[in-house]
Structures are given as C-alpha cells and as structure tokens.
Structure 1
Amino acid sequence: MSSAILEKAPVAAEPLLPVVGSELAAPLIHGGHVRYANLDYAASAPAVEDVAAHLSEVLPYYASVHRGAGFASQVSTSVYENARHIVAGFVGARADDTVIFTRNTTDSLNLLAGCVQSLLAGNGFTEGVSNAHGEVLYLDIEHHANLLPWQGLPHRSVVAGQSLASTLSRVETQLRAGNVVLLAVTGASNVTGEVLPVAELAALAHQYGARIVVDAAQLAPHRRIDMARDGIDFLAFSGHKLYAPFGSGVLVGRPDWLDAGTPHLAGGGAVKDVRLESVRWTEGPARHEAGSPNVLGAATLARAAQVLAGLDADEWHAHEQQLRSHLVAGLSETDGVTVHHLFSDADTYPNAGSIGVVNFSVEGYDAGLVAAYLSAEHGVGVRDGKFCAHPLLRRLGLPSGSLRASFGVGSRLEDADRLIAGIRTLLADGLGWDYVVDAGRWVPANDSRSYPAWAPNTPGTAGAAPCTTD
C-alpha cells in the first residue's frame, strides 16, 4: 500500500469557515482522546459558528408569529418573513416564486407530491404544462425522499446510464414518449457526490411540456444555485445539511401549482375562513405552513444561506476539490479499497463534476464494521449503509451497503489523512479491538466509554433505523 498520497499535500489545511464542534474530543476505545474527524457532513453538517451566534441573537425575541401584537412577536415575524427573501435570493428564485418552510427535504418533496396529486385529479395544470393527465419521471439513483413520494402517483423511472451523456439521452427518450408532467431529479448524488447538469435537464423537461423539481439537499451546501437562470421550477433542500440546526427545510417554486394543490397540513394559519363543515384555504406560503412555524429553524437556515452566499465561489470550490482529490487518490492507491462512482464522464461533462462526498468499500470487511472501527480506534466519523438509496446501491453491486465520507466548509486535509491512515492500518494489522453486533449495528465489545452526563447511553439505540438514515 502506497503512502505517497499522504506525503504529497500538507495535512493541516485550515477550514474554510469555523464550525461548532471543530475541536470536539472523541474518546478512543483503547483510552485517551483525539480530535473528532467529522466526515459525515452529508447526513447532517455542523453549524457554522456565525449561525450559532445568530441564534443567540434571535433567541431572546422568540415568540409567536403573524398574529401577535407584542414586540417580541413582531420581531419574530419580521425574522421569519425576511428569511423567505434571503432564501429566495440564495437560490436565484424568480420574483413570483413561493418560498415554503418545511421540516426537511423529504417534507418538501412530499408537499409537492400532494400538490401534483391534487392537480392530476382535477386536471388543474396551467402554463407551460401540456400533459395534464401525465406521469412523474424520476431516475433510479434518487434518494428515497425523491423516489417514494412519486410512487403513489402515476410514474415512470429511468435507469441511469454509465455516463451522464447516456443518462440524459435516456431521459429525453422518456420525455419524448409523452405524458410526463414532472421530471424529478437530484442535483447531486447523496451516495457518490456526482453532480447532474440540472439546467440541461430542465431544458429537456420544458421542451417536452413538463416541469422539473430538483432535490438539492446535497447540492445547495456545495454549489451556487440559480433557479431562474437554469430553469428550475421547484427546488427542495434542508437546513441541517446547510450548516443550520433546528430541522427546517424549504420548498421554492412556481406558485400556480402550490396555490392549487391541497394544503400540506390542515390547521390554523392555512385558511381564509372556516365553518363547521367547510373551509376556504388561503394562498401563498401560509397555505402549506399550518400550525406554529419553526421560526428558529428558518432564521438559522437563512443566516447559513447568507454566510455561504458571501463565500468566494472559486475559493469555496477549490477547498472542496482539494479535499476530495486528496481523499479519492489516497483511497484509490490503497490495495483492497474500491471507490465507487456512477458516471464515467462526471468530471468532464459540462456543469457537472462532484461535491464533497466519496463512496467506498473495503475488501473483506462489512461496511458497518469498518465505520465502527474508524470511530472507536481513530476518532473518525463516516457513514455506512444504503444511504436511503437502495435501488442505487443494488445497481452498484453493494446490496448490503458501503461507506461514505463527506465533508464541507469546516473540513481539513488532516481529516482525510486520518481516514486513509485508519483504513491502511486496518488492512495491514486488522482490528485492534473485538466488535459485536448490537441491535443490528456493529459496536465495540465491552465498551466502557460514556456519553456526556446530559446524553446518557440508552440501551438498544446503537442500531436505530439501520441503513436508512441520511
């Protein structure tokens, strides 16, 4: 196994932005502590320090919104509604696009699916859509959030090709066959990090009388998005992947479908008038935001958007590409490690490339065991499993799962080096501790380490929701 990659680049490159928890000490199974190397950004990214500071500013004013006359309520309402304008600017939305705050990307896409279902039932499609009785078209590489909501509607799936060029050709073939009302695609694969040319896909959808929705959960934290320029009709992403806590998501898109669709939740705030046996629903964002909204989630998401918008794009992408190239090279030069990808032309196709997500497997080792080993013996956090993309993992020949390292603005080259070194130590020397399966997950046997006092170990949680989270 070559160690040349570890010698080619500096191993202490500074993070692009400071993030909360960057110096977190992780306990090792053999004793002692080491700085936690967080390579699990694609699941939930740490909060940027500026976002955490903004939360402290907003929190004293936290109150009800929209109908409160008190000072704190007025401030909270201003913060909440201004967050819509910030998010709209961040993604290059059109002037009349609606910005709806949701729980996460999954919630956003389910909301849109409900609107499409309503419109299909009532044939209520409008401008730019000629297939009023149509189907939803999606790729087989999608995260479950952009696959399962469409299975309850008339739908078709496209098996992606070995290249982006062949994949677009297959998409066009299905669009040309007619009857597609919506094309649902990911902006960047949550499994491999490869970016899809969404502007080209949007142009194809519009050419054949359909609209497009982009799952930008992975794209938004890594790339500039311009909905108006690229022709994106609907866009969904999550705050918790955008360096903002509190579980807020966003759906941004054309108001005609959103105003015509059945409200996502039936409740207070979404109505114009209610009688005992009837209701008149309102339009605009409130139509789908019944109940007390997640004010702090919207506020932190908006501040994260401002912080990312303020980055120099070239510096941002260079930081990420340095990390990705370093990690891919180090893993690829390690005998027994396979780095997985989808498209042969991902790095050469226009407006494509890859974000800070690397998928790999280690010969002879279960992915979950490797992840447990890296955490316990090296203080490195990675993801293992099927990444809520079961059809894609089966297609890659990985039905039992693989490993994923992901990073972002708070990452360092040292994090990648520690992962590479840990894998090489495993392949050279084997496991340094005994591991057992507990509730479906690999864990160190006889683990005496403990969580902080305010977060006690709870029996049976080690394997909660195996192979499904992301």
Structure 2
Amino acid sequence: MPIPTRVQDRSSEEHAPLPVLGDDVHVPLRDGGSVPYAALDVAASAPALRQVWDDVAAFAPYYGSVHRGAGHLSQLSSETYERSRATVAAFLGCRPDDALVLTRSTTDSMNLLAAVLPSGTRVFVFESEHHAALLCWRDRPTTVLPAPRSPAEAVASLERALAEAAEGPRLVCVTGASNVTGEVWPVERLAAVARRHGARTVVDAAQLAPHRRVDVAGWGVDWVALSGHKLYAPFGAGVLAGRADWLEEAEPYLAGGGASSAVERTADGRLDVAWRSGAARHEAGSPNVLGAVALASACTALTEAGRERLAAREERLLDRLRTGLEAVPGVSVLSLFGPEADRVAVVSFTVRGLPAAHVAAELAGRYGIGVRDGFFCAHPLVRTLLEEEGPAGCGDGGGAVRASFGAGTPAEHVERLVRAVGELAR
C-alpha cells in the first residue's frame, strides 16, 4: 500500500487555509518589487493540495501499467487505480450500481455522455451553462432555455418545457454552481421535475464539488461530471459518474486497447470487435493512474478537513469580498438570482470606465493578484448580465473580471483584492 491512510486533527486550524503548492511563490511587480502571489483564479484551475502532491509522489515509484501486466507493479497500479475510483465514487455519493468513468475533464465527460445518448434524445439546457455543458449537444435535438432570474423561475421554466415536449428519451443538463456568479442552482428540485416527466439529469459539478458536498443518490440525479484540476488535483483526470445503462448500451467513446476484449479479422477482411463492459468500455488507452490517485487523494483530504468547516471559512471570505467590492463606487457585481442567493466562492464584477482586461492586468502588475477577465466560457450568460448593466458596465465588450478562491486561499489575498480594486476605481 504505497499511499498512507491519514487521520488529521484540524481542531486548531479552524480558520487556516489548507496547504497548497504555490502558497510560498513570490511574483514580480511592475515597480521592480515582488509580493507573495495571490491566486484568485481558482475557478479555472485550483492549485494542488500539498497532500495530493505528497500522495502522488509516494505512489510514483510504484507506477506501472494498469490492467495490462502480470508484474507486481502492474498489479499494484491496477489495484490502486480501482481503489481510487471507489474513493471518488464514495465522495460523490454514488449508488452501488452506478458507473464511474475516469475522463480528462468535465468537458470530456460531457462529450462522452453526449456520444452515448440514445437516438432521438432531446436535451434541455439553460443558456447560462458553461460551454462544456452547452456546446456538446449541438448534434442532438436541443431545447435551450433562457437564463432564469431565480431558482423558482428555473424550476418553472423546466417544468413548462418538459410538459410541452414530445415523448421520447430526454436529458436535462444543469450546473451545480455558476462559474460566472458562483450562484448555487436548485439541483434537487430540477431533478425532481425531470423525473416527473420521465427525463434524466446530468449535473455539471465542476464549480460546486470543490466547495460543497455532491450527492448523486441523495439528489436523485442520473450523472455528475467534474474536473480534477478544479478540485485541487491538477493531474489531468475528470469524472462522469452515474447510471450505467446508456454507457453500457452505446459504442465506446474511444476505440482502442482497453475498451476491446477481443478483436478478430473476419473472412471478408473486416474487423470483428467484442467491447468490454463497465467503465473500461469508455476508458480506451493507458489509464491516467497518477490522475486517479491525485483525484482520490483530493477527495480524501477535503473529507478529512471537514466539508462544513471549509465551506464556513469560504463563506466568511466571500462575504468580505462581496461587501468590500460593493462598497467601491463604480463597481458592479454580476448576479443572476440576486444578492441573497446562495453562492460559492466565485465573484464576477466590472469597474465603471475600465475595461476588464485593463483591471486584470493592473491587479497582476501592481498588486501580484491573479484573476480572470473575459467571458469565462459562458458567453451567453455574461453578455446577458453585462447588457443589463448598460452604461454602468465595462462598456467595451471585453467581458468582466472574475475573482475566485477556495480551501487554500489566505484571508490576506481577499483583503488585498478589495484594497486594490478600490484604488483602481479611484
């Protein structure tokens, strides 16, 4: 067993961030000085937890081929890979008969699901989704719903659309938390509506999973998709977890070794292939065992740290960030559901008279703060929110500024951002 089991007492670290790689990195400033880097683009790629790095390093000497070799390291790697799969499934609250396919990312997971949909499946998706959950259905019959202005409106809109739709297989795609506003969506209520109308549900949990519990069985959803690089495990692994039947009935997402159990050349020169069942059917090629180890390690570390404790800490920092930004004249915080909506640690904003790209560049060059600017792979939603601001928005068509943080973010980074935006606005 190359990776140790950890039991940690964090009672004395109630307000401390989790240790992450890069928390001691200094970056140059435009004036020639340097400061500790404030990584506030966690919604795009979260830093690796130090525990994840340590676990990957502990396993690396034992790395071998997965499901291929008879040697000791191959057997150990195969065992570790499958144990990692089980750890992630437990973290997500999967049902005993659910499949968990290890992919490259949320985008890969969504495209996998799109590839296995039964013929004629109609997809229902809100225009406010991330492109990973919006664009993969383009070759399928799709109903795109307008961005709702409240959780209740989202539920009512889906109810109407499903009631008016023709019979046949149907899939509802919804985000767990917006990557633009951080607002949490009513996943359980939307899944209940879908079930009443005989539809299945897939949840893009990429932004939700790093901050809140995911519960496939408890929510009554059919699938969830997420990315390791947003869950403090940036080693190229993603997940599609949920019902196995559509995955089992479809042709493999990728054709190749591992997905096939037998290949024969027929008398007429064709290739006759017998495909594997289970997750292996859609995991052709050499599995990313290091990515699987990292992802399982992150799930274990977050669980041991206490999801409720981490969420409470992030909520305090989020309240400080939103309060601080809203107090700056000329700053507008983007919101779909309103100021009282439940949200995770993602805030997008504009500064009157300053293009978003300029604000982001100044934050980096003058203050050592890393944020994101633009449309955040959610163009329809950002355009809708900016159009509502009118002249108060950034005004140049360049999108907004997004600050996002997580379990490894020190309070000083949030305070620095609030101070910096105030100075730039003045």
TM-score normalised over the length of structure 1: 0.83
CA contact (8 A) 1:178 1:208 kept: no
Q: Which residue of 1 aligns with 2:280?
A: 286
Q: Which residue of 2 aligns with 1:248?
A: 237
Q: Which residue of 2 aligns with 1:50?
A: 51
| Inter-partner Cα distance in structure 2 for 1:346 and 1:419 | 22
CA contact (8 A) 1:160 1:170 kept: no
Q: Which residue of 1 aligns with 2:33?
A: 32
Equivalences for 1:171-190 in 2 at 5 Å?
171-179=158-166, 181-190=170-179
1:360 aligns to 2:349 (yes or no) = yes
| Inter-partner Cα distance in structure 2 for 1:134 and 1:50 | 42
Q: Which amino acid aligns with 1:236?
A: A
Deviation at 1:427, TM superposition (A): 2.2
CA contact (8 A) 1:323 1:412 kept: no
Q: Which amino acid aligns with 1:24?
A: V
Q: Which residue of 2 aligns with 1:98?
A: 99
What's the secondary structure of 2:256's corresponding residue? coil
Q: Which residue of 2 aligns with 1:426?
A: 424
Q: Which residue of 2 aligns with 1:297?
A: 291
Equivalences for 1:455-470 in 2 at 5 Å?
none
Deviation at 1:414, TM superposition (A): 1.0
What's the secondary structure of 2:23's corresponding residue? coil
Superposed CA offset, 1:215-262 (max 9, x none): 000011010111111101011000000000211101001010111122
| Inter-partner Cα distance in structure 2 for 1:400 and 1:374 | 16
Q: Structure 1 segments of 4 or more deviating over 4 A?
A: none
Deviation at 1:420, TM superposition (A): 1.2
- Judge which range, 290-299 or 313-322, deviates more: 313-322
Deviation at 1:345, TM superposition (A): 7.2
Deviation at 1:14, TM superposition (A): 5.0
What's the secondary structure of 2:188's corresponding residue? helix
CA contact (8 A) 2:363 2:369 kept: yes
CA contact (8 A) 2:38 2:368 kept: yes
CA contact (8 A) 1:163 1:346 kept: no
* Gap change, CA 1:247 and 1:43, over 3 Å in 2: same
Equivalences for 1:137-286 in 2 at 5 Å?
137-179=124-166, 181-276=170-265, 277=270, 278-286=272-280
Q: Which amino acid aligns with 1:159?
A: P
Q: Which amino acid aligns with 2:346?
A: V
| Inter-partner Cα distance in structure 2 for 1:187 and 1:346 | 17
Deviation at 1:313, TM superposition (A): 3.2
| Inter-partner Cα distance in structure 1 for 2:339 and 2:325 | 20
Deviation at 1:176, TM superposition (A): 1.2
| Inter-partner Cα distance in structure 1 for 2:128 and 2:339 | 16
What's the secondary structure of 1:397's corresponding residue? helix
CA contact (8 A) 2:91 2:299 kept: yes
| Inter-partner Cα distance in structure 2 for 1:287 and 1:23 | 42
1:413 aligns to 2:402 (yes or no) = no
Deviation at 1:273, TM superposition (A): 1.6
CA contact (8 A) 1:105 1:250 kept: yes
What's the secondary structure of 2:137's corresponding residue? helix
- Judge which range, 396-405 or 267-276, deviates more: 396-405
CA contact (8 A) 1:195 1:346 kept: no
| Inter-partner Cα distance in structure 2 for 1:33 and 1:211 | 51
Deviation at 1:170, TM superposition (A): 0.6
What's the secondary structure of 2:336's corresponding residue? coil
CA contact (8 A) 1:357 1:407 kept: yes
Gaps of 5+ in 2: 1-13, 388-396
Q: Which amino acid aligns with 2:281?
A: R
Deviation at 1:175, TM superposition (A): 1.1
Q: Which residue of 2 aligns with 1:335?
A: 329
| Inter-partner Cα distance in structure 2 for 1:48 and 1:256 | 35
Superposed CA offset, 1:389-428 (max 9, x none): 0111111126431010000001122111111111122122
Q: Which amino acid aligns with 1:281?
A: W
| Inter-partner Cα distance in structure 1 for 2:187 and 2:35 | 41
TM-score normalised over the length of structure 2: 0.91
Q: Which amino acid aligns with 1:336?
A: G
- Judge which range, 90-99 or 177-186, deviates more: 177-186
Q: Which residue of 2 aligns with 1:4?
A: none
Q: Which residue of 2 aligns with 1:445?
A: none
| Inter-partner Cα distance in structure 2 for 1:386 and 1:330 | 23
CA contact (8 A) 1:54 1:300 kept: yes
1:312 aligns to 2:306 (yes or no) = yes
CA contact (8 A) 1:14 1:412 kept: no
| Inter-partner Cα distance in structure 2 for 1:201 and 1:325 | 27
Deviation at 1:155, TM superposition (A): 0.7
What's the secondary structure of 1:84's corresponding residue? helix
Deviation at 1:346, TM superposition (A): 5.4
* Gap change, CA 1:101 and 1:206, over 3 Å in 2: same
Q: Which residue of 1 aligns with 2:4?
A: none
| Inter-partner Cα distance in structure 1 for 2:333 and 2:56 | 39
CA contact (8 A) 2:331 2:425 kept: no
Superposition RMSD in Å: 1.3
Deviation at 1:383, TM superposition (A): 0.6
Q: Which residue of 2 aligns with 1:326?
A: 320
| Inter-partner Cα distance in structure 2 for 1:191 and 1:379 | 22
Gaps of 5+ in 1: 1-12, 121-132, 348-352, 429-470
| Inter-partner Cα distance in structure 2 for 1:76 and 1:318 | 37
Q: Which residue of 1 aligns with 2:359?
A: 370
Give the number of equivalent residue pairs: 397
* Gap change, CA 1:211 and 1:62, over 3 Å in 2: same
Q: Which residue of 2 aligns with 1:459?
A: none
